[in-house]
A and B are shown apart, each in its own frame.
Chain A
Amino acid sequence: MNKVKGVEKKGYAKYGFVIFFVSIGIVWMLGDMLAGFLLGYDPFDPRAHTEVIARAKTLLFIFSSAFIGVCTYLTYLLFLKGLSLEKQGLLDIFATPPKNNPQPIEPFKKTIPDEVPTVSVEKSVSTSQVSQEEDTTEVLVDHESVLSPQQLTILYDNSPVPYFVMDDSGNVRSANKATMRFFSATPEDFQVANLYTLISNMHRNDSAHAVALLVSKVQRGVSISEEEVTFKTYKDEERIALMSIYSIDRGNVEIPFRHLVALHDVTKDREAEEIKTDFLLLASHQLRTPTTTIKWYVDYMLDTKSFQLNEDAKGCLQEIYTANKRMMDLVSTLLTVSRIEMGTLAPEYAQVSLGAVAEDVFEELASDIGKKKIVVTKNIPKESDALTDKTMVRIIIHNLLTNAIKYTHEGGVVQLDINDKGMSRLIVVKDSGCGIPVAEQSRIFSKMFRASNARKMSAQGTGLGLFMTKMFVEKLGGTLSFESLEGKGTIFTITLPRVAPDA
C-alpha cells in the first residue's frame, strides 16, 4: 500500500514544490505579522527584532508550516483524488491497518504459489461484502509486488476479459462486467447463474458427453485451456467463446468457489469465417453451374447428328468449349487458392504412388506433348509410394509438367525423375525451355506473378500455378527448389517426405 501512495504522489510532485515555496513565503509574512500582533510591536520596525521575538517567530513559523502542509495535503486528497480514492479503498491509510492473521488460505500460498493472484482475487472480491478485519488477503500479497488486492479487484472487475469464479457444481459468483456484457445479463441474473446451464453446445459431435467430461474435469480440478463452447445469452443469442478454467487445489481446506473461469469471445471470428465459407460455396455453386451448362450444351450440339452442323459451326462450338474449359479451370484454381489461404484445405493422407500419379498426368497432357513434338524422358522406379495427399501431389506434378511443356519450344526435351533421398522422395522436372530471367527468379512463387518471357510465350496463365505448388509442397512437409538459365531450361526439384509429418 505504501508503494501505491508513492506512485500517486509522484505525478503531483511539481505542484508540491510550488505549494511548498509559496507556503514558506506566506508563512514568513504571516509569522511576522502574527508575532507583531501577539507581542505588540510593529513588524516592519527593524528595532523591534529582538532575540525573544525572533524565537517566537520561528516557533510560529514551524507551527503554521505544519498546519498549511497538512491542509494542502488534505485538500489535495479530498478535491483532486478524493472520490476515486475512496472508491478504490486507498483512503484505508486512515483506517486500521489490516492484521496479519494466518487464516484458511495460508496453505495454498505454499502449495501453489502460481495460483496466488487467483486466490487473492477470489478472496478480495468476496471481502467487499465482509468487514475489513476479516481481510486475510494481506497474507498472500507480496509487499514487493506492485498489485494491491484492491487494485487486483479493480482490474478483475473492469478487465475486458470475462472472468468469474464458480464452485464444483458450476454455480457462478463474482462475475465481472465483461461477463455481464458477454451474457447480456444483469447482476441479478448472475446471482443464481450456473455455468453448465448456460452452455448451449460444446463443439464436439457428442455434446452431452462433452459437457459431462467438462463437469468431471472441473470436479477433479483439471485445468481447461481454450475449449470452444457455445453459450446461450440472457437475450437468447448464441455466443461462441474459448473457455479456460484454472482451479485451486483444494488440499485439506474447504474452499467452494475455487475455479476461475475466463472466456475469450470468438463469436465475431466465427461469423467472419462462416461468411468466407458461404462466399466460397456461393462462388463454387453460382459460377460452376453456368459453366457446366455451357459445357453440356456444347457437348450436346456437337454430338447430336440431327442438328446437321457444318464443320465451320462445329469449329466455333469447339472454341466456345475451350474458352469455357479455361474459365472452369480458373474458377477451380481460385477456389483452391482461397481454401489454402483460409486454411480450410486439410490434406487427406493415403498411400500414394507418385509414379502412378505422374503417369496419369502425362496421359492427360499427351495431346499437348504430341502437338509440340516434345521428347519426354521418364525415370520412374517401381516403388515410389508416400503417405501423402493424392490430390495435392497430382496438382504439384501437373503444374510442374504443364509449365515444362508450355514453356519449352517445339521439339524440346522434358524429363521427369523420381528418386529417393533419405526418408524423402525426390521429384525432378527438367526442361529445355525458355528459363526464368535471373532478375525475376526471386518472385516466381508469388501469387499472380508471371515471368516476362513466360508472358511473351503464352498469353494464358494465371500466375497461380507455382504459388499453389509451393503451398502444397510445404503443407505436405516437403521442399521446393529450382535452377534456371534463361534460354536454356529449368530444373525443379521437389522433396516429399515418405510419411507426411501431419499424417
Chain B
Amino acid sequence: MNTKNWQQHSFRAMGSEINLWLETFQPTIAQAAFEQVESLLAENEQVLSRFRSDSELSELNAQTGRWQQVSPLLWDVLLVALGMAAVTNGRFDPTILHALESVGYVMSFELLETAVSHPTFLTSTSINWTHVQLDAKQQAVWLPPGVGLDFGGIAKGYTAQQAVDLLNGVGPCLVDAGGDLVAGAAPTGYLGWPVSIASPWMLSDDLFQLWLADGAMATSGIDYRRWERNGRLAHHIIDPATNQPADTDLLTVTILADNVQEAEVWATAVLVAGQQDGIDMLLNSELAGLLITQSGNMLATPQMDFYLQANSGSHHVFTQRFEEFCKYG
C-alpha cells in the first residue's frame, strides 16, 4: 500500500479553497482531469454565484414577479434546494438572500473585512420557499417580489459532486470544496480516503479521523464565517423563521451522507434548529451526524459513531430522545 499514485491539485473557486485527489499512475491524465474540473467550477460559478452581478442567478434575482426561463444547471440546483427545504420543513430555505444581505453578507466572505458599510434591507418572514413557482415544461421560475435566492452550500456541493463524477472516470478520487468533502471510490489498498473532522477551535487539529469512500461529509458552523455588525456578532447561518442569524447553542454540525448536497443542507438545518430539535431531526432521519455545542460538548448519532474512532477523542452517542440523556462532560 502506498500513496505515490495519489495526484493532487489545488485552486481557488466559488469563494473557497478547492483540493482534488486522484489515484492514477499517469500524472498527465490526472492533470487533464484536474483542468476539466477547474473549468467545471468556473462555469458553475458563473451560473450559480450570487456575488457576481452578471451570473444567471443574479439575473433571476433581479427579475422577481415574472416568469424567467433558466438553464438546466440552475433548474437542477433549484429543484435540489426546494426539495431539501421541504425535507427539512423549511429549516433550510434558499429564499433568504435578502436576510443575508441585511446582516451584512453582501460579498464574498474574504472581501467582507475590507467593506466599510453594508446596506440594510427590510426582510419579511411571511414569504418563503413555498411561494416560488416552477413551470417544468418551460423550465421557468417565478420568484415573488422581494424574494432572492441564495443556494448556500448547495451550489458548491452540487458542483463538487459533479467533479467527483468526472474524476471517477479516471480513478479513485476525493474532492475537498472548502471543507465539504466528497469521495469517490477508495484508493487502492485502503478502506477509503483518510480524512478528518477539524476542530472548530483549532483548524489544524483533528477531532476524529475516518475513512471516506463513495460518500460525502459536510460541516456547517458559526465558528468561522462571522463578523461584527453594529456592535453585534453576526454570522451567515440565517434562521428562516426569523430572517436573522440563527440563535443556536451549536457551534458546528457535521453530517455524513450519500451526497454532499444532502450533507450540507442537513448540517445547516440542524445548526439552525439547535441541539434539542437537531438531535431529534437526525435521529428521525437516521443520519450520521456529529454536533459540537458552543459549550464544547460533542454528540454523535449511532450512525456517525460507526465511522468515528473511539480513541481519538471524547464524545457520546445519543440513541434516545434528547430529554432522556444525561449531561455530557
**Same complex:** no
